[in-house]
Amino acid sequence: MASTLSSARPHPLQRLNDEEILKAKDILAKSHDSGESLLFRFTYLEEPKREELVKYLAAEHQVGNTATLPNLPRMVKFVYDVIKGPGEHTLADAVVDIDSGEVVHKQTHPTESQAGYAPFEFAQFQETCANSDMFKEALKEFELPENFTITIDPWPYGGLDPDEAVPRYMQGLVFARDTSKDNLDANHYGYPIPLIPVMDFNKKELIRIDRLATGGKGDPLEPAAASATPKKLFANAKSAEYVPELLDDRPLRTDMKPINITQPDGASFTVEDSSLVSWQKWRFRVGFSPREGAVLHDLCYDNRPIFYRMSFSEMTVPYGDPRPPFHRKQAFDFGDGGAGRSANNLGLGCDCLGAIHYFDAWDTDPEGKPTLSKNVVCLHEQDAGIGWKHTNFRTSRAVVTQLRELVVQFIITLANYEYIFAYKLDTAGNITLETRATGIVSVVSIDEGKTSGYGNIVAPGVLAQNHQHIFAARLDPMVDSYDEGETAVVLEESHPMPTIDPLTNPYGNGYEIRRTPLDMAAFADAEPKLNRVVRLENRSNKNEISGKNVGYKFTPSATQLLLAHPDSTQAKRAPFAQHHLWVTGHRDGELWAAGEFTNQSRAEVGGVKAMVERGDWFAKDGEASNGNAAGGEGKLSTPVVWSVFGLTHNPRVEDWPVMPVEVHQVHIRPADFFTSNPALDIPSTKNETSVLVSGSSSCCDTKDKKADAQQEDPVSHMQGSGPDVKPKDIGSGGKDKDKKRLTSILSGVFGKKE
Amino acid sequence: MASTLSSARPHPLQRLNDEEILKAKDILAKSHDSGESLLFRFTYLEEPKREELVKYLAAEHQVGNTATLPNLPRMVKFVYDVIKGPGEHTLADAVVDIDSGEVVHKQTHPTESQAGYAPFEFAQFQETCANSDMFKEALKEFELPENFTITIDPWPYGGLDPDEAVPRYMQGLVFARDTSKDNLDANHYGYPIPLIPVMDFNKKELIRIDRLATGGKGDPLEPAAASATPKKLFANAKSAEYVPELLDDRPLRTDMKPINITQPDGASFTVEDSSLVSWQKWRFRVGFSPREGAVLHDLCYDNRPIFYRMSFSEMTVPYGDPRPPFHRKQAFDFGDGGAGRSANNLGLGCDCLGAIHYFDAWDTDPEGKPTLSKNVVCLHEQDAGIGWKHTNFRTSRAVVTQLRELVVQFIITLANYEYIFAYKLDTAGNITLETRATGIVSVVSIDEGKTSGYGNIVAPGVLAQNHQHIFAARLDPMVDSYDEGETAVVLEESHPMPTIDPLTNPYGNGYEIRRTPLDMAAFADAEPKLNRVVRLENRSNKNEISGKNVGYKFTPSATQLLLAHPDSTQAKRAPFAQHHLWVTGHRDGELWAAGEFTNQSRAEVGGVKAMVERGDWFAKDGEASNGNAAGGEGKLSTPVVWSVFGLTHNPRVEDWPVMPVEVHQVHIRPADFFTSNPALDIPSTKNETSVLVSGSSSCCDTKDKKADAQQEDPVSHMQGSGPDVKPKDIGSGGKDKDKKRLTSILSGVFGKKE
């Protein structure tokens, strides 16, 4: 696509292209000794510093384009291993300035900092298992039915036990697949084998195979001793097929008639510069990182900024089965694997309907060469039902408009599981963060016929363990101004007035809104009993109607927080998952709710808890009263808000073999940001493609038409517009059914006739 | 529409028709003295007793039709006034058996029991105001701009003050309308006048006009004394137009291109007998009452019952402005007015898109004559995005299906305000209760330039008062059996295991599910910190996979409950709004969360609180241990569940002049009701009408096709399916990019090749 904005120089927020990556990689390689080889793990656009970028953005919006603006450096951040010899890996990261050709930052990390897994490691792990005599020996404990083969799902090793000193491990869940079906997509998750091989990447070998307990209620936590004869598995197992051609006993339903969504005039959005999206007064840039997936930058409405940056930051999935080694089933799907890197290549007509635009992204292979990830983000509009409606009961005139959404969506696959992430912007000025959990629940083996308190039996011998999904979205607000220091965070609650008091609350119905501006970094929980709302406000700009600070607001989701014991490794790794709201001081590059290195972590390092503890303050006019008391690290900052929400997922049988989506939404809504309903100017066009089913008639036809652009069908039966029938004794008045009658009567009060 | 099932005799759950109403009315009239005249207020189908109807339904499902079944009586319930002379009204209700021609029940009610308002009363109220010298006199306090006329919105009188003895009152909010626009839909709500006239229906006159305080922060609660010269209103007022032809300063946007939803093969549902809906294994009957609107009866999936009856029961809207008389702004929109009677007549292409079926309902006029309410309920299917998806990372094969919903929707208008109610059933077996609040927020006059703690300024001189909307949905479950006594209600919570203990929880990650079966009627609150879930289970039927009782579940919505002081009239009228969950023993006809007579109530009578207090018990096998201890009224019953949720609505400027929808959903989901994902057999058909925007290419085209009925586009980049590139030192292994390679390697473990 030709861009109207692009020139030789990409916009500072443009996603990296292959040339840039290649150039930066070469610059970095030259900065290392010839005896060192580099293994590239994650490649990011190093975004400009916020204080520089906001000035650039302010100027861009003022000028209308970037042609005359001074350049900001284009930089690439690499996370990579420096390898001096077999097994001698040192984790490093470096920032390369492509323009100057310089490595502007470089550092190495200690052994305990483990980067997320790269794709090649999953392959390597599986090969290591396949070639392992130890693994073959362990498998002898079991007898599988004929025609079954072994399949292993790589998993992050999880949190380290207190006594472990681990260089870089990976564990795997072991399954069998029925090869008699002659279909590589026969579902192996229906056949779990109670073994977990553990690999050491430095040694390139399996160092241990954990045998798993397969008992039920009342059985010990430890696995039973292996018996002398192989244990027969899957005697009564039931296949768990989901690919349509294998649904033998349950053919596809044939009575679902198509719903087609067509946009005869095309989409209402435009995409310029491969990243700049404009739609219905919204304007933003789509970024993409291998860890976060799609990111929204510089989100504006009517040229007024709202968010500097918006992203999904982290997710932890701790399992609640206390039997070791299941305490190590705790994935950090962003930090351990990379949500962006796990993104599906989306297909037209497959994942969403209508007129779709797709975005690509460049990643790197382990050698640092650019690799194209096609169609990793999709963009489309959709109808979202009635947006607003009002019927004037006096005239029967209804005006009804549809709500429309623009959806920026990406879908990730993490072994068995899928997540669908979406940013939805709508014509009423709302922003919705949506997650949909789907895919295949993680299962382990259980002796047939037993049940467990640690999960649910979803097929004979198959235990789907209880677990949680706890997400953190990172909201970097910039409310109605590119001037730094203008954004404030205020908690707002609705409280009953405490007493019935003749002077303040004579009848006891009064309630009041209490505001608590956050002067300092802090955390808080959802409090639905108080209707706790987070307002993101501009400190200076007042709404000209209400006099209040213009802003946006959201209600923190009251979902269950992390259940693991506070002293557990699971809990120590994820303080972020223990409060619904974190408000921290902005520092460039600080994007990770659970810290940069979650893989094999013992504790959250550099996550939101640490950010709060350093005591940043937000007061515009200098220092907060106790700004530096918290420890000296704090400084005046602009606030970043982290919204934590989740799902305690105690699996249902219905979640098998692929679970129906479990949807969660966070609604971020304008709060006195506008001077009226921003959707007021949406046309109330009658849809001409809708059709009647089974002979009902349309009441639209029977009413007067008032204007071309609207309908005016409905009539409320309630207020006086019904037939003015008078039972014998009910006052005077004729049987005039003229709908204008009431209006005329009342006009008479002031002698005005119409 | 010709029905395949209908015969001379309607189904016991069929909505009343005009002949039945007329016949019943005549029977009732004959039962009264000739000196009495009747004023008909509400007309209901008197549903058969539950214990009789479930037997009928069980037989109907077994036989497949109703032709051979014994008849159940068709009965009509009237709520009406018996009038012996002017002003001598007695409220009564009666049940008429149409078949036998008998009045099988008749009772009168004391003066304090007030039926909801009937449409003719709204008209009567407005005429009374228009003809009132007292009202004209009161208006002299104000000077309106030229060309403004008076408009009055009737409102329920609200809760009675302790010292009031009131026969039947109504109050009104007074506004002015700009007649210079020559448009009867010019929005009068932008011009509130600080008066509330109060009418006595017995006297047929205004008995009082309340003057309203118009002050702001710091001003007294009482209105200022009237000044000697008329107060000029609306000097700086801003119009609040929303009808498109009056949007002078804000033309309709023109860049929103159409989204058309077409169903070339028609709808997937069928409607028989004007009420029996079948769709994608779902089957139910659509009822309608003037108080509840649409009701679902006998809701089944695959011929297995789930709910006997499902309805929206009540809603209260208390205002939090403590200044008298605003404590009387507390509507009960079902009990005071009738949600069904307020239902809009829906129009094709206006309120929803696609292939639509409409349902009509018969009501009565004050004389008892049948009146047809056209198109008061609509039925349509819609796409709801991805339903489930999984990508096999080994083969890159993705299977993705869309979720589809069937929507039963009705929309009510209550003076200024609108609610959209919907029951949504979907292909994953889920049931969603949805409410959308829209329309025009209730406003009062405030001195220009002032602000208030009791609401928000939405236009100069216009205060939108803080208020709440608290809904109660009534769920009458019948889980997987027509046998009475089989349904149980269980509260389920997820709790951390309390200690780190080597025997039970060695690493501290364990959590456990706790179940609390409800043996007796009870109330409870949402408890998101504990992930409190309500399970509706069959006591006997076990899921053959999990061994658990088959059931459905929902999470009570953690929304703010009633804020009014417990000793206030507002609170006493609505105990139902003070807990999220009520579980009561079923009694026929007990449909109202806040009791039958909410209008002018001082306290909730016969609502959920009283139902719980009588101490019904649910144990199948006879008496609960303390069944009768609670007071003697209790008896063995089947449980009915009431879900209470709401919205504390502190208006935003964006809610003006018509507010964008505020959506709330309750998700009722199968919980081990099925033996696998009920949507597993949904075809993963590629949508052929989707189109690309701006030159992105579809990855679907580049993959192998595995089966006609699916796509298999996406590939996860994460697990081993990426390019198997090996940096120098990383073990052995070729650069084979065959996606089957990993599978083959692992097959080697068991010597199995494919």
CA pair distance B723, A366, nearest whole angstrom? 9
**pTM score of the predicted model:** 0.93
Strand partners, A97: A75, A102
Q: A154 to chain B, minimum CA–CA distance in Å?
A: 7
* Alpha-carbon distance values, B700 to A267, A666, B712, B713 (Å): 21, 32, 7, 5
Closest CA relative to residue B446, chosen from B458, B431, B437 = B458
CA A201 to chain centre: 31
Q: Does residue B693 carry a pLDDT above 70?
A: yes
| List of residues 6+ apart from A417 with CB closer than 8 A | A437, A438, A439, A440, A441, A442
Residues of chain A with pLDDT > 90, as a percent, come to 82
- pLDDT value at A468 more than 70: yes
Amino acid B724: pLDDT: 29
B558 with A558: Cβ contact below 8 A: yes
Contact list in B for residue A269 (CB cut-off 8 A) is 693
Q: Hunting for tokens 């996370």 — which residue is that?
A: A79
Residues B345 and B259 sit within 8 Å (Cβ to Cβ)? no
C-beta separation of B24 from B98 below 8 A: yes
* Beta carbons of B349 and A688 less than 8 Å apart: yes
Q: What pLDDT is attached to residue A621?
A: 59
The pLDDT-based confidence of A520 (bands split at 50, 70, 90) is very high
User: Phi and psi (nearest 5°) for B742?
Assistant: -60, -40
Task: Give the position of tokens 């609604």.
Answer: A667
Q: Which residues pair with B186 in a beta bridge?
A: none
Contact A397 B430 (CB under 8 A): no
Contact A649, A437 (CB under 8 A): yes
Q: Where does the pLDDT of residue A166 fall: very low under 50, low under 70, confident under 90, or very high at 90 and above?
A: confident
How much is the pLDDT for B6?
Answer: 39
What is the residue-averaged pLDDT of chain B?
A: 90
Split at pLDDT 50, 70, 90, the class of A711 is very low
* Residue B705 CB burial class (10 angstroms; 0-12, 13-18, ≥19): exposed
B713 is annotated as an active-site residue: no
Question: Which region among A79-93, A269-283, B700-714 has the lowest average model confidence (pLDDT)?
Answer: B700-714
CA distance A534 to chain B (A): 14
Residue B550 CA to residue B306 CA, distance in Å, equals: 10
Q: Which amino acid is at A109?
A: H
Residue in chain A closest to B250 (alpha carbons) equals: A681
Q: Hey, CA dihedral for B669, B670, B672, B676, is it positive or negative?
A: negative
Q: Is residue A670 within 8 Å of A644, Cβ to Cβ?
A: no
Chain A residues in contact with B38 by the CB 8 A cut-off are: 727
Q: Using CB atoms, which residue from B127, B418, B496 is nearest to A390?
A: B418
Look at residue B737 in the predicted model and tell me its pLDDT.
37
> Closest by alpha carbon to B461, among B304, B678, B740, B235?
B235
Rounded alpha-carbon distances, angstroms, from residue B521 to A11, B514, B517, B608, B621 = 64, 19, 11, 10, 16
Q: In this complex, do A723 and B564 lie within 8 Å of one another by their Cβ atoms?
A: no
Largest CA distance in chain B: 106
- Residues for chain B: how many in total? 754
CA dihedral (B535, B539, B540, B544) in degrees, to 10, reads 20
C-alpha dist (Å) from residue A494 to A497, A528, B363: 9, 10, 41
pLDDT at B221 over 90: yes
**Sign of the alpha-carbon dihedral angle for B239, B240, B242, B247:** positive
Local structure of residue A70 (DSSP, 8 states)? P
Question: What percent of chain B has pLDDT above 90?
Answer: 82
The region of weakest confidence among A197-206, B162-171, B571-580 is B162-171
User: Which residue among the candidates B189, B417, B423, B454 is catalytic per the annotation?
Assistant: B417
Residues A743, B139 contacting (CB under 8 angstroms): no
Q: Say if residues B174 and B193 touch (Cβ distance below 8 Å).
A: yes
Chain B: nearest CA to A156, how far in angstroms?
11
Encode pLDDT of A49-106 as tens digits.
Answer: 999 999 999 999 999 888 899 999 999 999 999 999 888 899 999 999 999 999 999 9
As to burial, measured by CB atoms within 10 angstroms (0-12 exposed, 13-18 middle, 19+ buried), residue B524 is middle
Q: Closest to A353 (Cβ–Cβ): which among B83, B351, B690?
A: B690
Task: Give the pLDDT confidence score for residue B715 in this predicted structure.
Answer: 31
Q: Hey, is B225 helix, strand or coil?
A: coil
B639 strand-pairing partners: B585
Q: Do A718 and B39 touch (CB under 8 A)?
A: no
Q: Give the confidence band of B742 by pLDDT, cuts at 50, 70, 90.
A: very low
Q: Are B150 and B195 in contact (CB under 8 A)?
A: no
One-character DSSP codes across A9-48: S--TTSPP-HHHHHHHHHHHHHTS-TT-EEEEEEEEEEPP
Q: Is the pLDDT of residue A629 over 70?
A: no
pLDDT tens profile B337-362:
999 999 999 988 888 888 999 999 99
CB contact under 8 A, B679 and A660: yes
Lowest mean pLDDT of A246-255, A414-423, B94-103, name the range.
A246-255
CA B4 to chain centre: 31
Whole-angstrom Cα distance, residue A282 to residue A304? 9
A303-317 pLDDT per residue, tens:
999 999 999 999 999
Asked if A639 and A620 touch (Cβ cutoff 8 Å), the reply is no
Is B274:B6 a contact under the CB 8 Å cutoff?
Answer: yes
The pLDDT confidence band at residue B119, using thresholds 50, 70 and 90, is confident
State the smallest CA–CA distance between residue B66 and chain A in angstroms.
22
CA-to-CA separations, B461 to A41, A324, B58, B232, B653, in angstroms, rounded: 61, 66, 61, 12, 13
CA gap A743, B184 in Å, rounded: 8
Residue type, B625: S
- Put simply, the answer to whether B386 touches A719 (Cβ < 8 Å) is no
Average pLDDT over residues A340-353: 90
- What do you get for the CA distance between the two ends of chain A, in Å? 58
pLDDT value of residue A201: 93
Residue A566 confidence (pLDDT) above 50? yes
How near does any CA of chain A get to the CA of B628, in Å?
Answer: 34
Which DSSP symbol is given to A278? Answer: E
Look up A182 and say whether it is catalytic: no
Query: Given a cut of 80, is residue A631 above it in pLDDT?
Result: no
> Are the C-beta atoms of B300 and B317 separated by less than 8 Å?
no
Residue type, A3: S
- In three-state secondary structure terms, B91 is strand
CB-based contacts of B477, cutoff 8 Å, min separation 6? B306, B307, B308, B487, B489, B536, B552, B639, B640, B641
Name the minimum distance, in Å, from the CA of A354 to any CA of chain B.
Answer: 4
Cα(B353)–Cα(B347) distance, integer angstroms: 10
Kindly list the residues from chain B whose CB atom is less than 8 angstroms away from the CB atom of residue A747: 149-150, 179
Residue B393 has pLDDT above 80, yes or no: yes
Select the residue from A89, A219, A393, A509 to test the B interface by mutation, using most B Cβ atoms within 10 A: A509
- Size of the A and B interface in Cβ pairs below 8 Å: 908
Average pLDDT over residues B568-593: 98
B747/A179 Cβ within 8 A: yes
Q: How far apart are CA A93 and CA A111, in angstroms?
A: 14
**Do A494 and B648 make contact, defined as CB atoms within 8 angstroms?**
yes
End-to-end, the C-alpha distance of chain B in Å comes to 58
Give contacts of A466 with chain B, Cβ < 8 Å.
494, 511, 513
Q: Which chain A residue shows the shortest CA-CA distance from B728?
A: A37
Q: Do B706 and A510 touch (CB under 8 A)?
A: no
- Backbone region of residue B291 per phi and psi (left: phi > 0; alpha: psi in -120 to 50; beta: other values): alpha
Exactly one of A93, A178, A333, A363 is catalytic; name it: A333
How far is residue B249's CA from residue A162's CA, in Å, rounded to a whole number?
A: 68
Tokens of B622: 């006879």
* pLDDT tens string A108-165: 999 899 999 998 999 999 999 999 999 999 999 999 999 999 999 999 999 998 788 8
Q: What is the pLDDT, as a whole number, of residue A9?
A: 86
Interface test with B, best of A694, A711, A712, A736 (most B CBs within 10 A): A694
Contacting residues of A for B528, CB less than 8 Å apart:
526, 528, 558-560
List, for residues B128-179, the tens digit of each pLDDT value: 999 999 999 999 999 999 999 999 999 999 999 878 888 899 999 999 999 9
**Token digits for B581?**
């969950």
> Tell me, what's the pLDDT at B621?
58
**Active-site option among A189, A417, A419, A454:** A417
What are the helix (H) ranges across A33-185?
A: 50-63, 119-130, 133-139
Residues of B in contact with A123 (CB under 8 A): 720, 722, 724, 733, 742
Mean per-residue pLDDT, A31-45: 96
Q: Considering CB atoms only, which of B363, B711, B725 is closest to A366?
A: B725
Write the DSSP string, B638-683. -EEEEEEEEEEE---GGG-SSEEEEEEEEEEEEESSSSS-TTTTS-
CB contact under 8 A, A692 and B358: yes
Does residue B439 register a pLDDT over 60? yes
Rounded-to-integer distance, Cα B126 and Cα B153, Å? 8
Q: Is the CB of B680 less than 8 angstroms away from the CB of A658? A: yes
Span A723-729, average pLDDT:
30
